Amino acid sequence: MTALRFLDTNILLYSISSERAEAEKRERAISLLGRDDIGLSVQVLGEFYVQATRATRRDALAHEIAAGLIEAWLRFPVQNLTRKIVLNALTIKAAHGFSYWDSAIIAAASALGCRELYTEDLTHGGDVQGVRIIDPFR
């Protein structure tokens, strides 16, 4: 299985949103998760769990549901957090001024060999280390 497209946490969160205003984003996110060339990272899965189960979230998921989704998403290649990822994230942060966490996501996407990173958190069309930034909701 090859990962060509890396999904950021916000894509996973939109896939579970029950907010009426996010219906189009939810459908787009679900469509992306239906592909077989998706990659994720341990960081993305952890961030998803924290945000999806947050007590202040209007449509918070129970632990069992969030954990079940994460287990289902383990069918995709998942990049572990490694020393190499941390060091590359620091390099990306220094070169581009992104937050450390966004830099770590880019580093993970690069390590998996992904050519595209789907996120709404970074500038659409940018390219970092051969990973093109795509805002799928544009």
pLDDT in tens, 84-137: 999 999 999 999 999 999 999 999 999 999 999 999 999 999 999 999 999 999
* Cα–Cα distance for residue pair 29/104, rounded to 1 Å: 21
What was the pLDDT predicted at 2? 74
Architecture of domain 5-79+113-134: 3-Layer(aba) Sandwich (3.40)
Residue 1: pLDDT over 70: no
In this prediction, residue 113 carries a pLDDT of 96
Return the structure tokens found at 59. 């449509």
Where do the domains of the chain lie?
5-79+113-134
* CB 15 within 8 Å of CB 40: no
In the block, which residue shows the tokens 């070169």?
Answer: 95
Average pLDDT value over all residues in the chain = 97
